[in-house]
A and B are shown apart, each in its own frame.
Chain A
């Protein structure tokens, strides 16, 4: 017997009204049989499906009776829902508030994830643009477990070489951003973000060009392209084209503005105020022929149809052609294992660079963040849904009559389920409106916490509305489904005759328990994070960071800069509010240099700072052996002050008798050690204190770029303005900028503080919402035991007794939830967050005790309301119902 295809007709059988289905199916099958005889099986099956499909049409679908019925009832459901909400304002508020907060949180996180995904999408050639990267064996041993390093910084000559020699490369550019340099136009002097790049940059990337011909941008070395906001800042409404800006890169030079571009958006991996040609970089000519200096991020755009694989193959040839000698030399010098990858070029597509934390880049992010935030959002949604369930059960007593009456009139259970789901969805959509408002209010804070610049453009709204609607419907159904089944199952016969109004808490209790576990885990995590942040900001770092002003000289890496520090010191010495002025090559959290050298055939590395004799006293570094530098002692220019870690690393018995030949001088013994400084944290607490030394030699160790000014406590702002006046007088043409050392040091932990804030915020939400859930559960409990309380009171039980009786079980519940969840939370936060710190707090009993107390307090506060209310009821009122 030949069979017709079932797919379409199965669908039809669902959509078609039942009373018509039999005859339609019969007719279809009859036709099928006839067609089968006439045309063969294949054609008959096709015709059958087609004919069945044609039945899905309004003339059939609209004959469904049930649908019409439900639309009539919707008005009634809406009315009932509205009345119920109005009747229990407190519960409605709790529910709506919890859901609103959860929805707001979800939308924020959606925006975050969307922003993360949107990076660099604006470039129309993005799919053909690749960043070339280095993947190489680490020649300096570090704490890192990975023996390989990845970096976006490559040889200066690579980009031009690739464009010249590889047929698949259409364009190639270098981009060195993030250079803060002094820019001058007439009397306007500011520090701007300079980026060095090439003409191809404008052909590859789609940043809108507002003025000028981008074909010709930066073809001459002394040209500049500025952003719209820079043009406005310096020239107001005048056209900036052909104007001359003085930019200070190893001395002030003039640049002619040839173009204006839009400001790069916040979701761009490239940031710049002013673009100038690569040729203006320091040591350009020298580095163009040096294939062992890695200093230029390199981007290429392939011809359409060329593959990344092709590029990678060609890059192997390029490496072998230009780096062979260097690699062979390094291999010997650093004992690189035979089977290790010594060096290779790799590539990343432009769209992947933002979420690739393995290669360091401005604004680079970790896809993990999106996952963690998404997890938090789901957690909060679940907690809020649980609330809805437990509160719906609490109030179910008063809905029983309604269910009974509806059922006796003839409502089916299906209809009641539909009604209650409808109610929860209605509430969820109402909450969505509030959620969107909360989201708008919190967006600036959220941007602040996450370091993003998310704005709500008109284009986003539709999508956002769709998303929040989807979330609301999901939550509405998720939260509404259990109460709907529970409430609709009441039997009219038992409900309508009255009697004991006992509410079975059912699922509510385990759900609230789960809520409490989530909250406990979150509280522990937030507390651990708080303690750690407190620890890192108050720990004794081995130097004094208070009342110290950090002022860059703005002369960069020059002799003038050294002179500027000395000039300032001389001028400020007479000021009674200034204690000392020290000079250093780079201040804390402003970068560092690390030199590698070989001593006794052993590879060593140490951090190096150039300082002047006032540096050590100015920031209060303790000298444990020997002495400070002395300007009057000529030999001190070849002397070092080392830290204890270096002494330990070298295994010196008497460091003051030792020399450190870090320049690998083949004639002399190297620098003499004149002092040993007590270990201090010159980098962040994420790292151990490693070997380090200070030197006064500007040729070997570098120039002083920054002065650290130690001030006397008192009127700090007055002192700062005095310093500024002195600065302006001595170093004309340079902008005065300053930061506070303690803030600089603390900002090393900015991203960790961000996460702490996000965690605190989620913890706050979670506590709030689960407190509300507990409130609901306590309500059920109090309702159920009304009679018991009445009898106890009749027999003379004191108020306190009843109160304790009612609260005992919740305190137990909170305690058990805590015992299970707190260690779990502590473990997770330790693995994920705390492990990044080399110096960290011990997870002690204190954190757990605090969590426990916090949880207990929340419990007691929330259950008290119901406890008191139930305990105070007049027994005569409660008992008369029997």
Chain B
């Protein structure tokens, strides 16, 4: 997955899928982003991003069981594939590596 470039929002959604684990679906991701980062995102944007990540092979989806809420409609759950986990890891490593190269930042005053 070296060549797969991830945008900022894609990376965010991918991370959220990792955080929510078995509970990752469109709406829960929207709520999680709001509670964790206090950032409002639109449902359709999350959906489209999830499908795109699926195309890239970073996540995979499966349909959940029927529920009584939401008009009896099933949820489409997402989970990380091994490629997805690797991608997250490599992003973190790259960040860390780069962070270390930054000269010690000092807060004056």
- Give B47's nearest chain A residue, CB to CB: A24
Is B21's beta carbon under 8 Å from chain A?
A: no
Is A33's beta carbon under 8 Å from chain B?
A: yes
Which chain A residues lie closer than 8 Å to B51 at the CB level? 20, 59-60, 63
Q: B32 CB to closest chain A CB, in angstroms?
A: 14
Which chain A residues lie closer than 8 Å to B73 at the CB level? 22-23, 25-26, 29
Is B4's beta carbon under 8 Å from chain A?
A: no
> What total count of A-B pairs have CB within 8 Å?
64
Instruction: Report yes or no: A23 in contact with B44, Cβ–Cβ below 8 A.
Output: no
Instruction: Report yes or no: B26 in contact with A59, Cβ–Cβ below 8 A.
Output: no
Within 8 A of B (CB), among A2-55: 20, 22-31, 33, 51, 54-55
A629 to B52, CA, bound (A): 106
- Give B29's nearest chain A residue, CB to CB: A27
- The contact string, 1 if C-beta is below 8 Å from chain A, for chain B 9-47, is 000000000000000011100100000000000111101
- Give A1's nearest chain B residue, CB to CB: B71
A24 to B44, CA, bound (A): 8
Is A145's beta carbon under 8 Å from chain B?
A: no
Instruction: Report yes or no: A27 in contact with B42, Cβ–Cβ below 8 A.
Output: no
A401 to B75, CA, bound (A): 46
- The answer, among A22, A28, A29, A57, for a CB contact under 8 Å with B74, is A22
Q: B60 CB to closest chain A CB, in angstroms?
A: 14
A28 to B76, CA, bound (A): 13
Q: Is the interface of B mostly helix, strand, loop or mixed?
A: helix
A617 to B43, CA, bound (A): 100
Q: B28 CB to closest chain A CB, in angstroms?
A: 9
- The answer, among A29, A57, A63, for a CB contact under 8 Å with B44, is A57
Interface residue tally on B, bucketed by range: 20 to 34
Known: A23-B76, A54-B42. A33 touches B47 (CB 8 A): no
Is B48's beta carbon under 8 Å from chain A?
A: yes
Is B101's beta carbon under 8 Å from chain A?
A: no
- The answer, among A22, A29, A60, for a CB contact under 8 Å with B47, is A60
Which chain A residues lie closer than 8 Å to B27 at the CB level? 27, 30-31
Which chain A residues lie closer than 8 Å to B69 at the CB level? 30, 33
Known: A31-B27, A59-B52, A63-B51. A26 touches B44 (CB 8 A): no
Known: A23-B26, A29-B73. A51 touches B42 (CB 8 A): yes
- The answer, among A22, A29, A31, A57, for a CB contact under 8 Å with B48, is A57
Q: B45 CB to closest chain A CB, in angstroms?
A: 8
Which chain B residues lie closer than 8 Å to A29 at the CB level? 70-71, 73
Which chain A residues lie closer than 8 Å to B75 at the CB level? 23, 26-27
Q: B105 CB to closest chain A CB, in angstroms?
A: 39
A430 to B88, CA, bound (A): 57
Q: B103 CB to closest chain A CB, in angstroms?
A: 41
- The contact string, 1 if C-beta is below 8 Å from chain A, for chain B 67-89, is 00111011110000000000000
- Give B67's nearest chain A residue, CB to CB: A26
Q: A271 CB to closest chain B CB, in angstroms?
A: 62
Instruction: Report yes or no: A26 in contact with B47, Cβ–Cβ below 8 A.
Output: no
A28 to B69, CA, bound (A): 12
Interface size on A, residues (CB 8 A): 19
Which chain B residues lie closer than 8 Å to A57 at the CB level? 44, 48
- Give A29's nearest chain B residue, CB to CB: B70
- The contact string, 1 if C-beta is below 8 Å from chain B, for chain A 52-76, is 0011010110010000000000000
Is B63's beta carbon under 8 Å from chain A?
A: yes
Instruction: Report yes or no: A26 in contact with B48, Cβ–Cβ below 8 A.
Output: no
Q: A378 CB to closest chain B CB, in angstroms?
A: 46
A26 to B30, CA, bound (A): 14
Instruction: Report yes or no: A23 in contact with B48, Cβ–Cβ below 8 A.
Output: no
- The answer, among A20, A22, A51, for a CB contact under 8 Å with B43, is A51
A387 to B21, CA, bound (A): 65
- Give A22's nearest chain B residue, CB to CB: B73
Which chain B residues lie closer than 8 Å to A20 at the CB level? 47, 51, 76
Instruction: Report yes or no: B63 in contact with A26, Cβ–Cβ below 8 A.
Output: no
- Give B49's nearest chain A residue, CB to CB: A59
Q: B5 CB to closest chain A CB, in angstroms?
A: 17
A64 to B46, CA, bound (A): 19
Q: A852 CB to closest chain B CB, in angstroms?
A: 69
A25, A51, A59, A63: most-surrounded residue (chain B CB, <10 A): A59
- Give A55's nearest chain B residue, CB to CB: B44
- The answer, among B25, B45, B48, for a CB contact under 8 Å with A27, is B25
Which chain A residues lie closer than 8 Å to B74 at the CB level? 22-23, 26
Within 8 A of B (CB), among A167-199: none
Q: A292 CB to closest chain B CB, in angstroms?
A: 79
Which chain B residues lie closer than 8 Å to A25 at the CB level? 70-71, 73
Instruction: Report yes or no: B71 in contact with A51, Cβ–Cβ below 8 A.
Output: no
Instruction: Report yes or no: B52 in contact with A26, Cβ–Cβ below 8 A.
Output: no
Q: A191 CB to closest chain B CB, in angstroms?
A: 76
Which chain B residues lie closer than 8 Å to A28 at the CB level? 43
Instruction: Report yes or no: B76 in contact with A51, Cβ–Cβ below 8 A.
Output: no
Q: A30 CB to closest chain B CB, in angstroms?
A: 5
Q: A56 CB to closest chain B CB, in angstroms?
A: 9
Q: B58 CB to closest chain A CB, in angstroms?
A: 16
A23 to B69, CA, bound (A): 12
- The answer, among B52, B63, B70, for a CB contact under 8 Å with A30, is B70
A24 to B47, CA, bound (A): 8
Q: A62 CB to closest chain B CB, in angstroms?
A: 10
A60 to B48, CA, bound (A): 7
A331 to B30, CA, bound (A): 88
Which chain B residues lie closer than 8 Å to A51 at the CB level? 42-44
A29 to B67, CA, bound (A): 13
Instruction: Report yes or no: A33 in contact with B44, Cβ–Cβ below 8 A.
Output: no
A29 to B75, CA, bound (A): 11
Which chain A residues lie closer than 8 Å to B47 at the CB level? 20, 24, 27, 55, 59-60
- Give B26's nearest chain A residue, CB to CB: A27
A24 to B52, CA, bound (A): 15
The 6 closest A-B pairs by CB, nearest first: A26-B73, A59-B48, A23-B76, A27-B26, A26-B70, A54-B44
Show the binding face of A for B, using Cβ within 8 Å: 20, 22-31, 33, 51, 54-55, 57, 59-60, 63
> What are 11 inter-chain pairs, A to B, with CB distance below 8 A?
A20-B47, A25-B73, A27-B43, A27-B47, A27-B75, A29-B73, A31-B27, A31-B30, A59-B47, A59-B51, A60-B51
A22-B73, A30-B27 are known; give 9 further A-B pairs, CB within 8 A: A23-B75, A23-B76, A26-B75, A27-B47, A31-B27, A51-B43, A51-B44, A55-B44, A57-B44
